[in-house]
Amino acid sequence: MTHQWYSFWRGRNKAAGLVARIVMMIFVIYFLLVALGIGFFMKQFIQQFFPGQNVITIFNGAILYYFMVMFLARIQLQELPTISVQPYLTLNISRKTIVNFLNGKSLFTFFNLLPLFLFLPFIFSTISGTSGTLTAIAYAVTIISLMLFNHFLALYLKRKSANSIFFILIGVVIVLALAALDYFKIISISEVSDALFSSLATYPYLALVFTALMVVVYVANSRYLRSNLYVEELSKKESAKVATDYPFFNRFGKVGELAALELKLILRNKRSRTSIIMSFVFVLYGFLFYKPTLIENNSFAQMMFAAIFMTGIFQIAYGQFMFAWQSSHFDGLMANKIDSTSFIKAKFLLFTIAATLVTMLTLFYGFMSWKLVLMHVAVYLYNIGFGSVIVLYFANYNKKRLDLTKGGSFNWQGVGATQWILGLPLIALPFLIYAPFGANDKPFWGLIAVALFGLITLAMRDIWVRLLTKLFIKQRYKIAEGFRE
């Protein structure tokens, strides 16, 4: 750990890295405070959202849903912990020590903090008062065990999928299959979850079963790491990382390096900086649409446009001109040894990070109504799941060059039919998904449908990357020719 601190403080870009970490920490603290507030007032939220139903039964039924969704999120967003391993392999340091350090380092992630802030306040305030302290401790042990089970299972599958995507697809397919069985009323996940956690009140020692499952996955993950921790294996499987001015991106390898370079491009040019400014300014856009009467009547169809626009403003404002932002040096990109797959993945990464940060900022609308938070989360999942796919698909047909030195105000350079066509499916599709449910007076089921569509398409991201990479390889010479004009 000391070496990691030395590496950071002695790095040539420590100032930029420190600023990036401080900004990220502010966002993390903000999001965790929101989760803490939900945890303390969860009883009131459940009573308002499910009137007349048992609060603890609803809570029990939602736990497995939460961890299923978080597993999908970890598969897409949680990165593998990395250190420069090779220098340590020649020293008198056991592989077990290195593996333990990697596993310990991996625990410091937002995904592991969130359930602690979200569930523990409710457990020790409501469940402890109803079923006793021992039951509350059993709940807490189970929640922490499931959190770590998810954590190490996601790491294990991502490491295995480095050689074959088959392993990660198995995990995603199982989760989606369980969701489908629940949707078609074949197996109720909520009932299974309620039965499991209700039994803890009678048999608190059952919490150790979940702990045992976590230990099994931890051991499997550690054994896999130790068996592949050789210089020969590393030289075949790992490519050297190049330091960037934004150390946060280093954890994403080559993809992060490309995303960091694009972020530099955005911040150094007038027109591209406008997309960042718009992302923050339009966070206030909801005040024009979110009227008390619409919120009270659950009129999400009349408010969804603002939610789509706010959470997806970066990919709308910046993504509509993809790949024209790099038109001045597009020929150089093609001549360099840049993998097309990594190039496309970097775009997805940039969109996901931007949408996540903006969505976190829009959570203050929760003070107006918790319903707005649900709507924002639903369209956020749609935007990072399928909205990004639409943007990058149409980018392959954009051949108009951009001059980045000019401002964005009243500048129509690069605007063509592609930009207008792009907006139709991007904005219309969530309304089409929501419409049948809204027409049948089931607005919340409509939001769930939009969110589920986003989660499914997010789980299919590797498939989209392959399809878009093939399209990009096919179109890149036409794009380059257009940029030369």
- When comparing pLDDT for 32 and 4, which is higher? 32
The pLDDT confidence band at residue 188, using thresholds 50, 70 and 90, is confident
Separation of alpha carbons 39 and 45, rounded Å: 10
Task: Give the best-scoring range by mean pLDDT among 84-88, 313-317, 428-432.
Answer: 428-432
The token pair that represents 81 in the structure block: 């912990």
At residue 99, does pLDDT exceed 70? yes
- When comparing pLDDT for 164 and 308, which is higher? 308
The token pair that represents 470 in the structure block: 């093939």
At residue 245, does pLDDT exceed 70? no
What pLDDT, in 10s, does the model give residues 169-181? 565 667 667 766 7
Separation of alpha carbons 99 and 110, rounded Å: 21
At residue 464, does pLDDT exceed 70? yes
- Portion of the chain with pLDDT greater than 90, in percent: 7
At residue 82, does pLDDT exceed 60? no
Q: In this predicted structure, what is the pLDDT of residue 19? A: 65
426: CB partners within 8 A, 6+ apart: 308, 312, 316, 387, 390, 391
CB 107 within 8 A of CB 81: no
180 sits in which H/E element: helix 166-183
How much is the average pLDDT of 176-199?
A: 77
Q: In this predicted structure, what is the pLDDT of residue 422? A: 63
Q: In this predicted structure, what is the pLDDT of residue 173? A: 66
32: CB partners within 8 A, 6+ apart: 110, 113, 114, 117
How much is the average pLDDT of 275-285?
A: 72
- Portion of the chain with pLDDT greater than 70, in percent: 74
The pLDDT confidence band at residue 183, using thresholds 50, 70 and 90, is low
- Residue 61 gets the label, from left (phi > 0), alpha (psi -120 to 50) or beta, of alpha
The pLDDT confidence band at residue 97, using thresholds 50, 70 and 90, is confident
Q: In this predicted structure, what is the pLDDT of residue 246? A: 61
The pLDDT confidence band at residue 478, using thresholds 50, 70 and 90, is confident
Q: In this predicted structure, what is the pLDDT of residue 214? A: 92
Rounded to the nearest integer, the mean pLDDT of the chain is 77
The token pair that represents 304 in the structure block: 């969804």
The pLDDT confidence band at residue 459, using thresholds 50, 70 and 90, is confident
Q: In this predicted structure, what is the pLDDT of residue 413? A: 46
3-state secondary structure 174-226: HHHHHHHHHHCCCCCHHHHHHHHHHHHHHCHHHHHHHHHHHHHHHHHHHHHHH
| Cβ atoms < 10 Å from Cβ of 297 | 11
At residue 28, does pLDDT exceed 70? yes
- When comparing pLDDT for 443 and 274, which is higher? 443
- When comparing pLDDT for 193 and 274, which is higher? 193
What pLDDT, in 10s, does the model give residues 130-164? 888 899 999 999 999 999 999 888 888 877 765 44
What pLDDT, in 10s, does the model give residues 328-360? 777 667 766 677 888 888 888 888 888 888 888
Q: In this predicted structure, what is the pLDDT of residue 145? A: 93
CB 324 within 8 A of CB 333: no
Q: How many angstroms separate the Cα of 167 from the Cα of each of 149, 159, 172, 464?
A: 17, 9, 9, 18
At residue 93, does pLDDT exceed 70? no
At residue 146, what is the residue type? L
At residue 410, does pLDDT exceed 50? no
Q: Work out the angle between the directed axes of helices 370-382 and 340-362 (0-180°, nearest 10).
A: 170
What pLDDT, in 10s, does the model give residues 202-238? 888 889 999 999 999 988 888 887 776 644 444 444 4
Q: How many angstroms separate the Cα of 150 from the Cα of each of 64, 156, 272?
A: 11, 10, 38
Lowest model confidence (mean pLDDT) among 56-60, 246-250, 435-439: 246-250
What's the alpha-carbon Rg for the chain, to the nearest Å?
A: 24
What pLDDT, in 10s, does the model give residues 108-118? 888 888 899 99
How much is the average pLDDT of 27-55?
A: 85
Q: In this predicted structure, what is the pLDDT of residue 140? A: 92
Q: In this predicted structure, what is the pLDDT of residue 472? A: 85
Q: In this predicted structure, what is the pLDDT of residue 409? A: 41
Q: In this predicted structure, what is the pLDDT of residue 147? A: 92
